[in-house]
């Protein structure tokens, strides 16, 4: 075979891998690996040219079991990204639907075969190196501190533009991303958000941000949504059900005492089929009127900032999907335990309406969310 597949790479995830060659076309088929969780979505793999076999000119990438991915039943919304070795990531167009005899389908993309290696992922990956790039490109604004470790003993990084101090009155935000580790659009949005806060300098609020909260899942390529033993964003009870959350809760208490705490912000991505644009989750006005009323002004401001290019028509939503976990989230913890509003942003993996999203779009979404929030600080 002229090609081999490697999943032992950062964020690596793929299973059910088959490699075939026919004439001048090689074919690599694969599926996302649940990694022990109940849902699949994230995948990331490297196709490498092996040995001195005659070179195939084209490579057919075949995604299997897309119908089993969370929201994977809408093939037109699935637009993976690829990167030839040493080059930038690029978005694939809509794939070809390949019918199977029993009614199932695969999705296939025909690309130029790599001279050395080609990575394919469900969406643009974002990891520790990207955080380091952000820090390096923002004029030393961000302190980077390890506030604890994950349950897998990986460092948990927290960025801050100001440590504040006891009794300080600078308005403060506590920001988190990647509680569901495969939701990389949330990271690119946070990246743009933090770059904007850096540009604002002393005009910015005090920001403490945990960019890679489920760092074990980020490193290992877990999707991390509803995963076992405990979804990070359902582990926010007291006592918390994951070590990471106990680290964050202590850090948030520290944050709260060193600024004028204003707002919690949590960046996510929705199911794979979502294409209507960015939206937020706010508390249900029927069951939590005060929480709803506290969050809505921030939803209005950020929704306005994202309109018309990026905001979904129905921007402020209430969670109505059936959840496996009925336990506290970051958002409910911020409101119920800290008495502060919190807003959650869901940014689609590939599309906002007909617009195909790039890393630059995600950063622009983060910039606008930052501007919307700053406009609301009194």
Residues lying near Zn ion in the complex (CB under 5 A) are found at 180, 183, 268
| Cis status, amide bond into 229, omega within 30 of 0 | yes
How much is the CA Rg of the chain, to the nearest whole Å?
21
Question: Which residues are within 8 A (CB) of 365 and not within 5 positions of it... i.e. 6 or more apart?
Answer: 189, 192, 278, 306, 310, 347
φ/ψ of 26, rounded to 5, equals -95, 150
Nearest CB to Zn ion, comparing residues 106 and 231: 231
Matching residue, tokens 């919690």: 264
Residue 150 CB burial class (10 angstroms; 0-12, 13-18, ≥19): buried
Q: Which of 56, 9, 54, 6 lies closest to 30, judged by CA?
A: 6
Distance in Å, CB of 79 to Zn ion, minimum = 19
Question: Which residues are within 8 A (CB) of 282 and not within 5 positions of it... i.e. 6 or more apart?
Answer: 291, 292, 295, 296, 299, 316, 317, 318, 343
Nearest CB to Zn ion, comparing residues 160 and 275: 275
Nearest CB to Zn ion, comparing residues 142 and 267: 267
Question: Which residues are within 8 A (CB) of 24 and not within 5 positions of it... i.e. 6 or more apart?
Answer: 56, 57, 58
Cα–Cα distance list, 56 to 41, 63, 70, 135, 248 (Å): 29, 20, 33, 41, 50
Distance in Å, CB of 140 to Zn ion, minimum = 31
Distance in Å, CB of 177 to Zn ion, minimum = 9
Distance in Å, CB of 103 to Zn ion, minimum = 31
Distance in Å, CB of 363 to Zn ion, minimum = 19
**Chain residue whose CB lies nearest Zn ion:** 268
Residue 367 has which token pair? 């910039």
Distance in Å, CB of 329 to Zn ion, minimum = 9
Distance in Å, CB of 84 to Zn ion, minimum = 30
Nearest CB to Zn ion, comparing residues 183 and 216: 183
Nearest CB to Zn ion, comparing residues 50 and 319: 319
Nearest CB to Zn ion, comparing residues 330 and 335: 330
Nearest CB to Zn ion, comparing residues 298 and 349: 349
Nearest CB to Zn ion, comparing residues 315 and 349: 349
Q: Which of 124, 2, 5 lies closest to 61, judged by CA?
A: 5
φ/ψ of 253, rounded to 5, equals -65, -40
**14 HSE (CA, 13 A, CB side):** 27
Distance in Å, CB of 217 to Zn ion, minimum = 11
């Amino acid at each position: 075979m002229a090609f081999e597949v490697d999943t032992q790479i950062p964020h690596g995830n793929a299973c059910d891998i088959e490699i075939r060659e026919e004439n001048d076309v090689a074919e690599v088929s694969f599926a996302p690996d649940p990694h022990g969780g109940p849902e699949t979505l994230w995948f990331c793999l490297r196709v490498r040219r092996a040995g001195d076999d005659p070179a195939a000119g084209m490579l057919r990438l075949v995604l299997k079991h897309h119908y089993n991915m969370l929201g994977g039943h809408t093939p037109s919304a699935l637009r993976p990204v690829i990167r030839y070795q040493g080059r930038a990531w690029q978005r694939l167009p809509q794939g070809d639907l390949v019918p199977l005899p029993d009614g199932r389908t695969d999705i296939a993309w025909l690309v130029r075969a790599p001279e050395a290696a080609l990575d394919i992922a469900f969406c643009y990956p974002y990891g520790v190196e990207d955080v380091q790039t952000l820090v390096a490109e923002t004029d030393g604004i961000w302190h980077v501190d390890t506030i604890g470790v994950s349950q897998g003993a990986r460092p948990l990084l927290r960025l801050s533009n100001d440590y504040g101090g006891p009794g300080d009155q600078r308005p403060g935000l506590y920001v988190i991303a990647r509680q569901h580790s495969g939701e990389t659009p949330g990271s690119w949005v946070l990246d743009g958000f933090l770059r904007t806060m850096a540009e604002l300098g002393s005009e910015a609020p005090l920001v403490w941000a945990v960019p890679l909260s489920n760092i074990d899942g980020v490193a290992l390529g877990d999707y991390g949504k509803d995963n076992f033993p405990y979804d990070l964003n359902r582990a926010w009870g007291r006592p918390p059900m994951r070590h990471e959350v106990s680290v964050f809760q202590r850090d948030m208490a520290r944050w709260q005492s060193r600024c004028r705490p204003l707002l919690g912000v949590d960046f996510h991505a929705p199911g794979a089929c979502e294409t209507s644009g960015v939206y937020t989750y706010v508390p249900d006005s029927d069951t939590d009127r005060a929480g709803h009323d506290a969050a809505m002004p921030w939803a209005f401001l950020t929704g306005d900032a994202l309109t018309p290019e990026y905001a979904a028509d129905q921007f402020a939503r209430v969670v109505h999907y059936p959840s496996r976990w009925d336990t506290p989230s970051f958002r409910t913890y911020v409101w119920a335990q800290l008495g502060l509003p919190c807003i959650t942003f869901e940014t689609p993996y590939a599309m906002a309406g007909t617009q195909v999203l790039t890393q630059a779009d995600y950063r622009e979404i983060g910039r606008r969310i930052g501007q919307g929030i700053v406009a609301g600080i009194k």
